[in-house]
Amino acid sequence: MATVGVKHHQMFIDGQDVDSDQVFEIRHPATNELVVTMAKGTVEHADQAVESAKKAFESGVWANKPKEERAAIMREIGNRIALELEEFIEDEIICNGATVRQATGFHVGLASGHFLYFADQAEQYEFERDVPTVAYPTMSMNRVRREPIGVCAAIVPWNFPLVLGIWKIGPALAAGNSIVVKVDEKTPLSLLRLARLAHECGVPPGVFNLVSGEGKEVGARLASHPDVGKVGFTGSTAVGREIMKLASGTVKKVTLELGGKAPTIVLPDADLDITADGALFGCMLYSGQICESSTRILVHESIHDELVERMVKRASTIKLGDPADYDTDMGPVVSERQRDRIVDYMEKAKADGATVALGGNAATVEGFEGGWWIEPTIFTDVTNDMQIAREEIFGPVMVVIKYSTVKEAIAIANDSSYGLTAGVWSTDYEAAVEVGNQLQAGTIWINNWHQVDPALPFGGYKQSGAGRELGEGALDEYTEAKHMHVDLTTSLDRHIFDILLSTPAE
């Protein structure tokens, strides 16, 4: 049901556009203007998409395609993403407020390469492996096969919909599965473009479906649907727990990429120019709305004041403004709700005794008064028990904690229910690696941040997740392992059946 004068988008199920009699209104986070409407799916749409995915999987139209053909179609998709870069960037900016520089470098810039990595995996992954003939207890040949699971569901958040979607769609398709993607209601456009484009490149109807809808209805239905064999989820830890519960009914495989509260330890010998810029890059990129952002900066007391001074000076230059303008450094946060949530955290921090070294408030930007803005913010005098040091804020809010010994810093860093990423800044690489070895996180960045490579695993320790996306093991998460044992023993007396049947055969 379209709104007059605004472009309306439909879901994509079984190779067809599918509308709904309800809509989501999508508003530009920098202006609050209505930019498009999107069909709002229901539980019935989720069921329709799963049925279509199941039918496609069982027909073998994708699963039984030679892996070289699957890889070729996926390469075509990866190349088309690169060719349509501008359109994808526009989709992301108007929905989630990323700046054009961020969208070019991260939101969309990573997408083509990551998809192409999975296209290669479609061909290179070891789908079948023969184990050398085993002679004990009897002669046998053994084979390990990795087979597609069937219907997979991907439930994706709003912050990096295209890339985080590809981390699930890529391995699922490479392994021969069908997939149903549930987009976040605020950011459906880039994945919708990808679904259509995949279809144009030769992915058969029903193999890649996209639905929208409320998480607690449509997402929850996918997570509990008896015909879904695997759920790949990125989002908050609270919803991740819920997904685990819902998936347990039919013991689905689950991959969870959840929240974070990443610590970074600045050792006394760190290069302060690199660290000041790097720590701000790690914390404030995309207005801090990244699960792996470095939000807790642990600084040795000997360099604390100087580093804070440099970071405040550099962060004061961050220019808020039109996300589509190349001169803009930082865009808005995604919604009024997020803006208010961040402001609440900052007020709580002030009440708890943290010192505002910079910012600490909502902001207004001339010409963009309707948007949702937060000042780049640095809090000092923070202790690790304060709420701003324990909970994920998802805003451009840096928390600085002073430490005296490296042992103490490691203990503070690990004192968190999260463990997605962590980092170290130091000019002594060996010392930094030694500290990194003791940090409890799935990724450790030394003297940099936000470095995600499709060939390397990504995921969290503790309550930051379960399983890993990307890397060589990514397709393991979208396949079932089957061990096939073929016994080669030809005479009864060489078999081991006498363990049970001791009386010789007549």
Helix (H) or strand (E) holding 117: helix 111-124
161-174 helix and 189-200 helix, angle to the nearest 10 degrees: 30
Using rule CB under 6 A, residue 159 touches ligand NAD: yes
Q: How far apart are CA 30 and CA 19, in angstroms?
A: 28
Q: Which of 172, 220, 276, 474 binds ligand NAD (CB under 6 A)?
A: 220
Q: Known catalytic residue: 257?
A: yes
Using rule CB under 6 A, residue 235 touches ligand NAD: yes
Shortest spacing between CB 24 and ligand NAD, in angstroms? 11
The stretch among 12-20, 98-106, 108-116, 158-166 that binds ligand NAD (CB under 6 A) is: 158-166
Shortest spacing between CB 261 and ligand NAD, in angstroms? 9
Instruction: For residue 419, give both structure tokens.
Output: 């463990």
The stretch among 36-44, 169-177, 235-243, 498-506 that binds ligand NAD (CB under 6 A) is: 235-243
Q: How far apart are CA 33 and CA 90, in angstroms?
A: 15
**Planar angle of CA 125, 129, 131, nearest 5 degrees:** 150
**Going residue by residue from 247 to 286, which x/- string records binding to ligand NAD, judged by CB under 6 A?**
----------xxxx--------------------------
Nearer to ligand NAD, 182 or 193 (CB): 182
Q: How far apart are CA 273 and CA 306, in angstroms?
A: 10
Using rule CB under 6 A, residue 219 touches ligand NAD: yes
Q: Do 397 and 377 touch, CB atoms closer than 8 A?
A: yes
Using rule CB under 6 A, residue 169 touches ligand NAD: no
- Active-site hit among 92, 185, 257, 469: 257
Using rule CB under 6 A, residue 291 touches ligand NAD: yes
Give the three-state DSSP class for 12.
strand
Using rule CB under 6 A, residue 125 touches ligand NAD: no
Nearer to ligand NAD, 258 or 382 (CB): 258
Q: E-assigned strands of 186-285?
A: 208-211, 230-234, 253-257, 262-266
Q: How far apart are CA 24 and CA 38, in angstroms?
A: 5
Tell me how many residues contact ligand NAD (CB under 6 A).
28
The stretch among 73-81, 233-241, 433-441, 472-480 that binds ligand NAD (CB under 6 A) is: 233-241
Shortest spacing between CB 107 and ligand NAD, in angstroms? 12
> What are the strands of the beta sheet with 16-18, ordered from one edge?
16-18, 11-13, 208-211, 178-182, 151-155, 230-234, 253-257, 465-466
C-alpha to C-alpha distances, 14 to 18, 179, 201, 239, 252, nearest whole angstrom:
9, 11, 15, 28, 23
Using rule CB under 6 A, residue 182 touches ligand NAD: yes
The one-character DSSP state at 469 is: B
Using rule CB under 6 A, residue 155 touches ligand NAD: yes
Q: Which residues are catalytic?
A: 257
Residue ranges that bind ligand NAD, judged by CB under 6 A: 155-159, 164, 182, 184, 215-216, 219-220, 223, 234-236, 239, 242-243, 257-260, 291, 392, 394, 420, 465
